[in-house]
Amino acid sequence: MSLTYITPYNCSDKNSYLYERAKFFLQESYVSDFSKRIFVDFSSSKDISDELEPIAKARGIRYIRLNRHGELYSSGVCRNVGAIEADTQFISFQDVDLFANDSVYKAIESRLGKYKYFNELELIPCLYLTENFSREYLDMTDYDQNFTIHQAYLENDKEIIHMYAPASSCKLLDRKFYLMSGGMHKEFYGHGFEDFELHYRLCDMSKKYYKTHEPRSHNYMYDSLDYKGYRTFFSMFGRPLMDEGLYFVHLWHDNHVGTNYQKRNRINRGIFERLMNEYDSGKSRITPLPNIHAKENILILASKKSINATSLKQLFVEIGNCEFVDEKIIANSDSLKELVEDKQYDRVFFFNPYGNEHRLSLYRGCKEYGIPYYVFDRGALNNSWFIDPNGFNGDSDSYSRKRWDHELTEEQSIEVEEYI
């Protein structure tokens, strides 16, 4: 069990505060055998990337260059790439503006050992420091940092803390849960609302707290006394950490807020509102991200936007690195064989192969050519599925006499009786 912190980044000018902040981040951020890091550079100028990458590598931090020059910056693209590439059970996100001392990271490591569920989710709170205290803070010991900051938070000391957010872009969750969710939505660019949209889906899928009343409302803040609005909902996932003194601090910087930022923020807000409506109405069709570290590459015969594909996200993340191809564009079993060989798929995944004549011909072709496959459908028992590598119901070797015609142990007999 281990954790990867993923940092999105983009800087094209050494005069920007982001240049020095990234150097500090790479030199000072906590790493351990448990806590690893991936730094994803969207399209920084070559001289900046060339300088930062050796600093990262010297500390065992993986540095990924996307080289997406000429495109609008997207932190979501960076975060999705980092989540796909991470090879740890858990992931989190941390921008270069955010800092924590070693004791906070060690407490997080201990916390993850207590997680029980695949869809466990916590959001790491963030305290935004004032300009003057940001400089003072970095010269303190770990103990003094923790004591001073927590005391300032409790006393609402505006000389030290400019503002706080009980829910930030930093989150703690299983990597497969993030992949299953589809990650950050690709429609967002620039800054604004991209984290809220992801939180809206993840918090609902975690099933940890009841969703607030009027959940799509912008009108309620994190500290609202009414259990309404999305911010209030998100705050529930960060308050337990805040109460225990676990949070990142945001080091001060000039916001440089201008017309372009404000324009993009308005556009992103509209996207957020539309996507919330789609999610709540059951029309959301976000494909799970690929699980590239899985043992098998699997071809799913379905459109990635189909109900089947989007309803079984957790299954697809678990069984392999899945790619979706609509069965309608595969002419025949010979074409399927060529596709499997060309893309080096290890297995083909069929929904009910008897669902239509075309799918049945592809299924029989897999059998004829000896191409491994899975067959999926609902099971005969309540709330059950079957994923069979040997066929479909009556034509499957899974139900041959040799597999079931033997005495049950006493324990198995008891289990069957209890189930019935």
Summarize pLDDT for 344-363 with one digit per residue, the tens.
999 999 999 999 999 999 99
Q: Where are the alpha helices (DSSP H) in 166-258?
A: 175-181, 194-206, 230-235, 239-243
Ramachandran category for residue 319: left, alpha or beta (phi over 0 → left; psi -120 to 50 → alpha): alpha
Q: Where are the alpha helices (DSSP H) in 207-258?
A: 230-235, 239-243
Number of neighbours of residue 223 by Cβ within 10 angstroms: 10
In residues, how long is the chain? 420
* 382 pLDDT tier (thresholds 50, 70, 90): confident
Per DSSP, the three-state class of 121 is strand
Instruction: Tell me how far apart the alpha carbons of residues 190 and 196 are, in angstroms, rounded to a whole number.
Output: 14
Is residue 9 within 8 Å of residue 16, measured between CB atoms?
no
What pLDDT is attached to residue 189? Answer: 83
Instruction: Tell me how far apart the alpha carbons of residues 250 and 168 are, in angstroms, rounded to a whole number.
Output: 10
* pLDDT exceeds 90 at position 211: yes
248 has which bridge partners? Answer: 126
Closest CA to 215 of 177, 346, 203: 203
Mean pLDDT of 276-302: 94
* pLDDT exceeds 90 at position 114: yes
Instruction: Tell me how far apart the alpha carbons of residues 175 and 181 are, in angstroms, rounded to a whole number.
Output: 10
What pLDDT is attached to residue 262? Answer: 66
DSSP state of 65: E
Instruction: Tell me how far apart the alpha carbons of residues 237 and 166 are, in angstroms, rounded to a whole number.
Output: 8
Paired tokens of 14: 């050494």
Angle between helices 75-85 and 194-206 (to 10 degrees): 40
What pLDDT is attached to residue 285? Answer: 84
What pLDDT is attached to residue 259? Answer: 52
Residue 48: CB partners within 8 Å, gap ≥ 6? 11, 12, 14, 19, 22
Calculate what percentage of the chain has a pLDDT beyond 70: 98
- pLDDT tens sequence across 55-106: 999 999 999 999 999 998 999 999 999 999 999 999 999 999 999 999 999 9
Paired tokens of 252: 């001060």
99 has which bridge partners? Answer: 249
Sheet holding 297-301, edge to edge: 321-325, 297-301, 347-351, 373-378, 385-388
What beta strand segments (E) does 42-105 contain? Answer: 62-65, 90-93, 98-99
Instruction: Tell me how far apart the alpha carbons of residues 157 and 378 are, in angstroms, rounded to a whole number.
Output: 58
pTM: 0.92
Mean pLDDT of 364-370: 97
Q: Which CATH class is domain 297-419?
A: alpha beta
* 255 pLDDT tier (thresholds 50, 70, 90): low
Instruction: Tell me how far apart the alpha carbons of residues 196 and 180 are, in angstroms, rounded to a whole number.
Output: 17
* pLDDT exceeds 80 at position 256: no
36 has which bridge partners? Answer: 4
Instruction: Tell me how far apart the alpha carbons of residues 171 and 198 are, in angstroms, rounded to a whole number.
Output: 11
- pLDDT tens sequence across 314-334: 999 999 999 999 999 999 999
Residue 400: CB partners within 8 Å, gap ≥ 6? none
What pLDDT is attached to residue 310? Answer: 85
Is residue 160 within 8 Å of residue 130, measured between CB atoms?
yes
Paired tokens of 28: 């000072």
Sheet holding 126-129, edge to edge: 98-99, 248-250, 126-129, 161-165
What pLDDT is attached to residue 186? Answer: 86
Mean pLDDT of 12-38: 95
Query: What letter represents residue 411's amino acid?
Result: E
Where are the chain's structural domains? 3-280, 297-419
Instruction: Tell me how far apart the alpha carbons of residues 8 and 191 are, in angstroms, rounded to a whole number.
Output: 12
Equal CATH topology for 3-280 and 297-419: no
Instruction: Tell me how far apart the alpha carbons of residues 79 and 85 are, in angstroms, rounded to a whole number.
Output: 10
Q: Does domain 3-280 have CATH number 3.40.50?
A: no
Residue 169: CB partners within 8 Å, gap ≥ 6? 75, 93, 95, 195
Measured at the alpha carbon of residue 129, what is the angle toward residues 198 and 209, in degrees to the nearest 5?
Answer: 35
Please tell me the least confidently modeled range out of 199-208, 255-264, 353-362.
Answer: 255-264
Number of neighbours of residue 26 by Cβ within 10 angstroms: 23
| Dihedral angle computed from the Cα positions of residues 94, 115, 87 and 191, in that order, rounded to the nearest 10 degrees | -30
Long-range contacts of 306-309 (CB under 8 A, 24+ apart): 308/351
- pLDDT tens sequence across 154-200: 899 999 999 889 888 899 999 999 999 999 998 888 778 899 999 99
What pLDDT is attached to residue 235? Answer: 95
